[in-house]
A = this chain, B = another copy of it.
Amino acid sequence: MERDLIALCKNKASELEAACRKNGLALTIQRRVILECLASRTDHPTADQVYEDVCVKIKGVSRTTVYRVLETFVSIGLAKKISNPESKARFDADTTRHHHLTCTACGVVLDVFDNDLNNLRLPSGIERDFEITDYSITFTGTCSACSGHRTKDHG
């Protein structure tokens, strides 16, 4: 159930080319590196976390660009914003259906890949009023690292 990160990154690189061509967008170095940085992590980074990674790879990129490019990726389907209870956006380069475990203590977000969960029977009647395109389950609880310390710390 693990995902092949190297394959994902390669796929993403060619997806980017295709998506830029299709949408009439320029294939800039910034877009290439930002997508590369996003696709190489599975921990659903915030825009600022992506920015940190990008800075290591190329000099002089601005935070603004990272924020803007990530939004562009979402709008052309190269990435998703994931639902989370924090007050900041988190991004995921894996746009296929999967689910999340979020630790209420430390905030970590782990992936859940499961066939049964990916094929739920939707409640009847709903689709009359709402056109459902996708869904994602967020499991909340405590990760193993935080299970030890019972106090409400954020280490």
Contact = CB atoms under 8 A, between A and B. Distances in A.
Interface of A: 81-89, 101-104, 110, 112, 114, 116-117, 120-123, 126, 129-144, 147
Nearest to A121: B116
Contacts of A101: 126, 130, 132
Among A82, A87, A144, which residue has the most Cβ atoms of chain B within 10 A? A87
B126 A112 contact: yes
A81 B141 CA distance: 14
30 contacts: A82-B85, A83-B83, A83-B84, A83-B85, A83-B102, A85-B89, A86-B89, A87-B88, A101-B130, A101-B132, A103-B130, A110-B130, A112-B123, A112-B126, A114-B123, A116-B123, A117-B123, A129-B144, A130-B143, A131-B142, A131-B143, A131-B147, A132-B139, A132-B141, A133-B140, A134-B141, A135-B138, A136-B138, A136-B140, A137-B138
A87 B82 CA distance: 11
